[in-house]
Amino acid sequence: MPELPEVETVRLALERLALGLEIAEYICHRPDYLTHGRQYTGKLAGSRIESAIRRGKFLVLLLDGDFALMHHLGMSGRMLVTTASAEIEPHTHVQIRFRGVDAEIRQRDPRRFGFAAVFTRDELSRFPSWAELGPDPFSLNSRAFAAILHNRQAPVKNLLLNQRRIAGLGNIYVDEGLFRAGIHPLRPAGDLSPAQSALLLKCLKRVLRESIAAGGSTTNDFRRLDGRFGEFQHKHRVYRREGEPCPSCGAIIEKIILGGRGTHFCPSCQSI
DNA sequence: ATGATTTCCTGTAGGC
DNA sequence: TGCCTACAGGAAATCA
């Protein structure tokens, strides 16, 4: 469940570590994990990493030539920096080796809900799940956010998980944002008052910012680029805390299934 | 068109 | 101890 803060944590680390590095070799051990651009992998040697960008949960390394390397972490994906001679751990699907440095980037993903792809910049801009991505929460003001919720009958949690509506939120930060805003996950999105919707956006931005500052949440699989755990899981107030007392009011936190996902909330603080 | 449900995958945790 | 089952969920596909 790497979401916006986890992907941003990786992106920031890549920005410090990998900009300017010249690719020596791009290796994919599992053809079906590389969903696009297999015909390009042999042409990447000599290109340098120009920038590391993120939209929603998508991570892209832009090269100085025409190519863009996309990495999505899915559920159990990790981007890791290792020495070039480090043992290849199981479920390592992609290796990016560099010239002149004893380091390489690897993508591991046991459950394989993630993927890697190589695009030209033009292909990237037309790749549907990238091109049709909604805005990042940080780019929204309360008016634009209200427009996204307007007239939507779906439960607000489902809408916030829809990457075409708003990009980057997943199960953890939707539950945590709704709790902080005092809004029930089943509440129809379009029913929120302007004040509630503004508060929700503010709470979402705050929880995302705090998580980025903590290096993201490690609930199970997520690791930072250097292998360290994130720390924000210690600040979760409801996510996977069903049966525990609410940190605000002491009521017992409940868990329901919504859109096939565990959904955690305080029945007392979060009114429907 | 919207919204709800199903599917992919494997390591881990819990029950017996 | 070991076997078995349930569970975790991002996003695409499918259905009503």
A137-265: which CATH topology? Helicase, Ruva Protein; domain 3 (1.10.8)
Summarize pLDDT for A91-134 with one digit per residue, the tens: 999 999 999 999 999 999 999 999 999 999 999 999 999 999 99
Burial category of A153 from C-beta neighbours within 10 Å (exposed 0-12, middle 13-18, buried 19 and up): exposed
Q: Which helix (H) or strand (E) holds A144?
A: helix A142-149
**Residue A90 structure tokens:** 């199981």
CA A240 to C1' B15, whole Å: 20
In the block, residue with structure tokens 């972490």: A73
Summarize pLDDT for A7-59 with one digit per residue, the tens: 999 999 999 999 999 999 999 999 999 999 999 999 999 999 999 999 999 99
Summarize pLDDT for A139-148 with one digit per residue, the tens: 999 999 999 9
Which residue is catalytic, options A55, A57, A180, A224?
A57
Beta carbon of A186 within 7 Å of strand B? no
Domain-wise residue ranges, chain A = 4-131, 137-265
CATH number of A4-131: 3.20.190.10
pLDDT surpasses 90 at A220: no
For A80, the 3-state DSSP assignment is: strand
Task: Name the residues contacting strand C (CB < 7 Å).
Answer: A 1-3, 56-58, 72, 74-75, 111, 113, 128-129, 161, 163, 170-172, 240, 255, 260-262
Which DSSP state fits A252?
A: B
Summarize pLDDT for A173-212 with one digit per residue, the tens: 999 999 999 999 999 999 999 999 999 999 999 999 999 9
Torsion of CA A82, A83, A88, A89, to 10 degrees: -30
In whole angstroms, give the CA distance from residue A174 to residue A187: 13
- H-type alpha helices, A18-141: 121-126, 128-131
**Residue A72 structure tokens:** 């999505």
What is the identity of the amino acid at A221? D
DSSP string computed for A194-231 = HHHHHHHHHHHHHHHHHHHHTT---SSS---TTSPPPS
